[in-house]
Structure 1
């Protein structure tokens, strides 16, 4: 069994506030390609959290990939604490609840509502100890909340085998160029 932890920027950190935003289209394209590569390499579980942004988009993209890879992988949404997202606005809670239903498995590391940062540290420890590698949509030159996960993953990987890959803003730009070039080539072929 091979389990991949996927995390990254929140939507607002990327300036994405709408599912029709071109940036989200590119991120979905990148996530799809990365997840296909991981699935073809033997990943059985794609595990992420419930944060708005990369984590929820990962579950959504993986759910779409189940058409292409129906029996090859499962998804899990692991939450740091009970009542996660309960303070979000109604629209964000609705999206979260719909996305949560797409996951094959959901659980909370702590059965208590948020009480302290210790719950977030416990969440990181759970994710590291229950996965074999990580994929982060994160750029060290553009700090965000994912910095905490990156720091813990890097610290862990420095001491034992735990491969992780980062998708930077340059990687996203290269993928955007590739995506739009493929669209343009499609129009030229017609």
Structure 2
């Protein structure tokens, strides 16, 4: 989970930094550029990226709660049915590993959905605040590409999440069938 949070946090940090740079303006950013490129600043940035990754992961999870619940209800009628299915595959480490990998990809997609939105905002602000040629073309390109990326991450999140629930339902039913019944008939 450390890497997932860091991957999400790097995008969030870039977006936050872009917004701060836009507010500070070109001249101020030009003056502090050497400080920001130091080793110390890199260490602080890595720590900040990790912390922001946690916040953005939780925010994205909260934002997508309703769509996630609708996807889950396709395969599990209740939360207890879902919890039971997760417990049913615990005796199969390869299934747990595949499930963990899918959840990792899902977390990155949902986090980068928010990262894309923040990066579009930051890029738009930078385009208007910094001396840039052909502002309108760049602004439109940022909006279009950022929107396409955000939509792509949402669609990937949705596909991975739906597939994960479907596979879990199938695997849990197979796991339950593979476990011999307890207290069966004993014949002499």
Question: Same fold judged by TM-score > 0.5?
Answer: no
TM-score range, shorter chain: under 0.3
Report the TM-score, using the length of structure 1 for normalisation. 0.25
Answer 1 or 2: which has greater helix percent: 2
Q: Which has the larger radius of gyration?
A: 2
Answer 1 or 2: which has greater strand percent: 1
> Relative contact order, CA 8 A, sep 6+: which one is greater?
2
